[in-house]
Amino acid sequence: MQTLRNHLRYVSFVMAIMMAFGSVWASSASAGMVGTDELLTEQRTDLDRQSLLNMLERDEVKEKLAEMGVSQEQVEQRIQNLTPEELSSFEQQLAEAPVGEGVVGIIVLFLLVFIITDMLCATNIFPFINCIR
């Protein structure tokens, strides 16, 4: 009977250590988990960004950008740098805009973004806009 108790003492000690390691591992594993809303937001942002880039492929948009002296590469770079909040706001404005004015609205919005970034000294696209710093 004494040998059984000694044996159980060692087994319980090993089990306690295994439970301690298991709880530490479980808490560290849950810290790296990504929530569903974060994943959905990231996927929505990627879809919004891709739809804007697809819109740039339209001939009307290319012509209008060329008329205004803005290259398509600059617009694509700006789209890639938009935050998720800016993208969702932009997509909402596009959804609310009438169909005929959608393309013009997109171009005007991009020009406003370009002008604001020029004023903040982030870019230098338009030489007639002075930096506010």
d(Cα 102, Cα 92) in Å, to the nearest integer? 11
Q: Is the pLDDT of residue 100 over 60?
A: no
pLDDT digits (tens, 9 = 90+) for 83-99: 788 777 777 777 776 65
Q: Is the pTM of this model over 0.95?
A: no
pLDDT in tens, 18-40: 888 887 776 655 555 667 777 77
Closest CA to 91 of 126, 41, 125, 57: 41
Domain spans of the chain?
A: 1-33, 36-119
Count Cα atoms within 13 angstroms, Cβ side, for 123.
Answer: 16
Kindly report the average pLDDT of the chain as a whole number: 77
Token pair in block for residue 1:
């009977």
> For position 96, what pLDDT does the model report?
74
CB 103 within 8 A of CB 60: yes
Residue 59, pLDDT above cutoff 80: yes
